[in-house]
Structure 1
Amino acid sequence: MFSQRALCACAIFTLACTKTYADPIELSGFATFGATYTDSDQLAFRSDVSVDDGETKQIDFGSLSRIGIQVDKRFNEDWSVTGQWVLKRHVDYSLDQLTQLAFVSYSPTPNWTVKAGRTAFDLFMMSPYRNIGYAYTETHAPVEFYGLIPHQNIDGIEISSSHGFAQGNFRTRLYAGKTKNYLSNFEYEWELELKDVLGATLSYEFNNWLLRTNYTEAEIGGQPVDDYYPLLQGAQLVPPQIWPEVLEVALDTNPIGTKLKYANVGLKYDNGQYYAQSELAYIDANSALLNDLVNGYAHVGKRWDTYSLQLGYSFTDGKAYETPEPRVRTQFTDLIFQGLDRALNYYVNDQSTISISGRYDFRADMAAKLQVEFVDLELEDNQFMLRTQSTAGKESLVVISATLDWVF
């Protein structure tokens, strides 16, 4: 269990406190006090698909609020340990979920670093500071891009390098391990385990530009969703002559063993006054559950001393699965068809958002932010937003959010 590893890490910290080293233990932290309002009767805002609680047509103070602390201890030039714990809205408030980072770091040379333990899942450009609202202009990371994959850390090993040149800086990062988090919605909760995770990130920074790309593979592990076995048992009762494909389709609703492939490319420009950032990703599971999906975002902004203004656009474009229909329609086959069709298209989303964000840095360590989002949902049963009822239709809605961010 990871909690045992966390206890070992605490023991290391305690031992470190009893001896004298060159560098003392460093304690830092961050906090966000946030509020959101969604003008929908059926859908509530949430930052990613793991969140299981939210409010519609009233102010929600829990959707963006969080607090985190980080402990760093450097023993010498080569060895250090890091731990980070974040409290925010989640299905599970166990120590395992609260622990975002817990790793030992070894740097044999100034250019190379090896980390073992729980490290940041380096899928996205904003992965290292995704929970730190003070680090970006918007009130939250783009949901269509960052909200689809709730996993923020990985238990395993990471090897990174940094190489400086006259033209810029080239960085590499390789990682392997496993991770898990929840997918949830109205009366639905499933722990999505990703095992045999293997990924690589390459980035090149020059002048005011950053070019970054990531490729990651993983296999879905754990247990099937709760609806799988009832659907399979129902499909087995349907005579093949009236629905030849039903059993094969039912078996396709089991995601366990599915191979996932994720590819991402990002570009960032920042000269201090003007900035722009964009990422585009492609996900392929080579299965009926998730054939292929494209998502991305772009935002541009300008800073005036302590004020910033940003315009953004984000989207997810998924391909719906066309579930074969029974040759003979009965009440029972219609019920099975609805269950199969919903299960096979549960992860398919078609959504876009236009956002306007403003930020005021009224102190060196604090910022106030306001954001308005115009969200367009092209498919029914949307999974990015939190449903407050069993089904939800297509809808265009507005999300207003405000945050007060602090780093210490």
Structure 2
Amino acid sequence: MTVNLAPKPPASVTATAAVLMLSCCAALAGESATVSVAEEDGLHWTFGGFGTLGVARSNGDQADFTANYLSPGAVGYSRQWGATVDSRAGVQAGVHLNRDWSAVVQLVSERTLRNGYAPAVEWAYVQYRATPDLSLRAGRITLPLFLAGDYRKAGYALPWVRPPVELYGTIPLSSSDGVDLSYRWQTGAANHVTQFFYGRTDIPVTPVARARAHGLTGVSHTTTAGALTLRASALRADLSVDIARPLFDGLRQFDDQGEALAEQYELDPKHAYVATLGFNYDPGRWFAMGEIARMNAHSYLGDKTAAYLSAGYRYHDLTPYVIYAVSRPNVPNSVAGLDLAGQPRQRMAAGAQLNGGLNQLLAAIARQSTVSAGVRWDFHSGYALKLQYDRILPQQGSTGTFINVQPGFRAGQPVSLFSAAVDFVF
């Protein structure tokens, strides 16, 4: 396979991702990559990779910043400076058995809650192309939820240091084990890709707890017309997360009211729904893009809406950009909890502690906004240096997207985050 990685800044985010992630992502993104063997018979191997060397500094000392909830973060409360937020490396190998059958394996090494930097299988699937426009994949495949869903871990394909955490950090899942069916079609000058997928996933969310999504069913549609790309996606799943079990077991000791609270907020399992809509307009000299999503897990994870808008301008090898991102819960960040009137003193103290624990969970439903500014410098073919400043404002009643929150944390106080990253592909 011949892949052309241009030394200049990418002409569009989706097109760059298609080139980087090889022909399978090109089909999903509705763009074309330079692939010479896709129409040939015979055995052909491909190999490539990507990586990010990043460092971040936070002035917040009462909580840690993290790009997603599956990472320990460790910038802010744990230490001012850290390289674990964005640094990662990935390799990908593919084989084309003939014009109809192919397979891809991708390994990614990044900081996780359980295994440090141990490599994990991000993709591992077999693809059958029934017709030039219809293909089927089976194995570990991409979840096509967002505009950057096909390449969110390949920093070189992104204009920013990282995707906006209000949206992408809320749903850190990037792949599932299952099948998908993709169909390409046209209407006039517009190209369309409609994708149906079904699967499951099982991932660690703490060193001792796991998140499981069964019956993960969804549809994604991408339309490309000239410089404009639109993507809409929806999925549902039966989601369970085995954390905070002592809290809910304790609530159930308080008769019917405790049982009702446990049933309302425990995630064991619940129907979860996600709907997203995004656009990218990129005529070449500049770009503008944005996404909005609503996520409802019918539990302490809450019902929330998240969105962002971003724009950038390309001047030779430099691309300055700005981002505004916001997350808003559609449910309260706190509840009255157990009615402890008339309870014995010891039982009242236990109930008050349970109410505090429940509200601590609800405070983690992000009510937050972030204003970001940065610049990308494509200083060499396949290499890009990015500098970014984020002003993150967790609003009253919420701890935002921060983790390892300490008792001295104060909502309503902005946190400044400085990031630098070198992204590369090979």
In the other structure, the counterpart of 2:234 is: 215
Change (3 A) 1:175 1:41: same
In the other structure, the counterpart of 2:46 is: 26
1:280-359 equivalence runs, <5 A: 280-285=292-297, 287-318=298-329, 319-320=331-332, 321-328=334-341, 330-343=348-361, 345=362, 347-359=364-376
- Structure 1: give runs of 5+ residues left out of the alignment: 1-20
**In structure 1, C-alpha distance between the alignment counterparts of 2:258 and 2:130, rounded to whole Å:** 57
For residues 244-287 of structure 1, the C-alpha deviation after alignment (integer angstroms, 9 at most, x for no partner) is 622321333321120011111111100011101111011123x3
In the other structure, the counterpart of 1:36 is: 56
1:168-317 equivalence runs, <5 A: 168-184=190-206, 190-221=209-240, 224-225=242-243, 227-233=244-250, 235-236=252-253, 238=254, 245-285=257-297, 287-317=298-328
**Relative to structure 2, which stretch is displaced further, 379-388 or 139-148?**
379-388
Asked if 1:376 corresponds to 2:393, the answer is yes
Change (3 A) 1:291 1:368: closer
Answer whether contact 1:381 1:391 (CA < 8 A) is retained.
no
Change (3 A) 1:385 1:94: closer
Shift of 1:189: 5.7
For residues 212-249 of structure 1, the C-alpha deviation after alignment (integer angstroms, 9 at most, x for no partner) is 1001000114x632x3245424541x4x5xxx622321
Shift of 1:181: 2.8
**In structure 1, C-alpha distance between the alignment counterparts of 2:118 and 2:132, rounded to whole Å:** 32
**In structure 2, C-alpha distance between the alignment counterparts of 1:94 and 1:396, rounded to whole Å:** 30
Answer whether contact 1:49 1:383 (CA < 8 A) is retained.
no
Query: What amino acid maps onto 1:396 in structure 2?
Result: P
Shift of 1:405: 0.6
Answer whether contact 2:367 2:398 (CA < 8 A) is retained.
no
Change (3 A) 1:50 1:61: same
Shift of 1:123: 1.1
In the other structure, the counterpart of 2:162 is: 140
Answer whether contact 2:65 2:73 (CA < 8 A) is retained.
no
Pairing partner for 1:78 from 100, 106, 130: 100
TM-score (norm 1): 0.86
Answer whether contact 1:173 1:202 (CA < 8 A) is retained.
yes
Change (3 A) 1:230 1:309: closer
- Structure 2: give runs of 5+ residues left out of the alignment: 1-40
Asked if 1:55 corresponds to 2:67, the answer is no
Change (3 A) 1:235 1:195: closer
Asked if 1:405 corresponds to 2:423, the answer is yes
1:153-172 equivalence runs, <5 A: 153-172=175-194
**In structure 2, C-alpha distance between the alignment counterparts of 1:121 and 1:202, rounded to whole Å:** 12
Asked if 1:152 corresponds to 2:170, the answer is no
Answer whether contact 1:381 1:392 (CA < 8 A) is retained.
no
TM-score (norm 2): 0.83
**In structure 2, C-alpha distance between the alignment counterparts of 1:80 and 1:300, rounded to whole Å:** 37
Answer whether contact 2:279 2:289 (CA < 8 A) is retained.
yes
In the other structure, the counterpart of 1:14 is: none
- Over the aligned positions, Cα root-mean-square deviation in angstroms equals 2.2
For residues 289-342 of structure 1, the C-alpha deviation after alignment (integer angstroms, 9 at most, x for no partner) is 245210011101110121101110111101225233424173232122212333
Specify the SS of the correspondent of 2:127. Answer: strand
In the other structure, the counterpart of 1:367 is: 384
The percentage of aligned residue pairs carrying the same residue is: 23
**In structure 2, C-alpha distance between the alignment counterparts of 1:314 and 1:362, rounded to whole Å:** 28
Answer whether contact 2:270 2:299 (CA < 8 A) is retained.
no
**In structure 2, C-alpha distance between the alignment counterparts of 1:368 and 1:159, rounded to whole Å:** 37
Aligned residues: 376
Answer whether contact 2:305 2:327 (CA < 8 A) is retained.
yes
**In structure 2, C-alpha distance between the alignment counterparts of 1:220 and 1:49, rounded to whole Å:** 16
Change (3 A) 1:391 1:74: farther
**In structure 1, C-alpha distance between the alignment counterparts of 2:267 and 2:118, rounded to whole Å:** 24
Pairing partner for 1:387 from 404, 420, 426: 404
Specify the SS of the correspondent of 1:32. Answer: strand
For residues 17-49 of structure 1, the C-alpha deviation after alignment (integer angstroms, 9 at most, x for no partner) is xxxx73431110001100000001112221101
Shift of 1:389: 3.4
Shift of 1:388: 5.4
